[in-house]
Amino acid sequence: MFGNIHEECGVFGIYGRDTADVASDAYYGLFALQHRGQESCGIAVNDCGLITVYKDVGIVNDVFTKESLASLGTGQMAIGHVRYGTTGGLSRRNAQPLVINHIKGSMALAHNGNLTNAAALRRELELEGSIFHTTSDTEVIAYTITKCRLNTGSIEEALSAAMKRLQGAYSIVLMSPQKLIGARDPLGFRPLSIGLRGDNEYVLASETCALDAVGATFLRDVEPGEIVVIDSGGLRSIKNNCAGGKKALCVFEYIYFSRPDSVVEGTSVHEARRRAGALLALRHPVEADVVIGVPDSGIDAAIGYSQQSGIPYEIGFIKNKYIGRTFIQPDQKEREDRVRIKLNVVGSVVKDKRVVMIDDSIVRGTTSARIVTLLREAGAREIHMRVSAPPFLYPCYFGTDIDSQENLIANRHTVDEIARIIGVDSLGYLSVSDLGSLVSDSCAGLCDACFTGNYAVDVSGVSEKSRFDRKICEHKED
Supply the residues annotated as catalytic.
9
The residues pairing with 345 across neighbouring beta strands, listed in sequence order, are 317
Q: Are 12 and 79 in contact (CB under 8 A)?
A: yes
CA 181-62-76 angle, to 5 degrees, is 30
Which of 387, 354, 346 is closest to 368 using CA atoms? 387
Around Cβ 444, how many Cβ atoms within 10 Å?
Answer: 14
CA 138-1-387 angle, to 5 degrees, is 115
CA 196-200-201 angle, to 5 degrees, is 55
C-alpha of 308 from chain center = 29
* Residues 360-393 as b or e (16 or more Cβ within 10 Å = b): bbbbbbbbbbbbbebbbebebebbbbbbbbbbbe
- At 98, is the secondary structure helix, strand, or coil? strand
Q: Are 389 and 429 in contact (CB under 8 A)?
A: yes
Contacts for 54 with CB less than 8 Å, ≥ 6 apart = 42, 43, 63, 64, 68, 69, 71, 72
Q: Are 113 and 53 in contact (CB under 8 A)?
A: no
Q: What are the strands, taking DSSP E only, across 280-414?
A: 290-293, 317-319, 343-345, 354-359, 382-387
In angstroms, the CA 75 to CA 255 distance is 37
In angstroms, the CA 250 to CA 449 distance is 9
Strands 180-184 and 168-175: antiparallel
C-alpha of 89 from chain center = 17
Counting Cβ atoms within 10 Å, is residue 286 exposed (0-12), middle (13-18) or buried (19+)? middle
Task: Report long-range pairs for 413-418 (Cβ below 8 Å, ≥24 apart).
Answer: 415/391, 418/362, 418/365
In angstroms, the CA 414 to CA 425 distance is 14
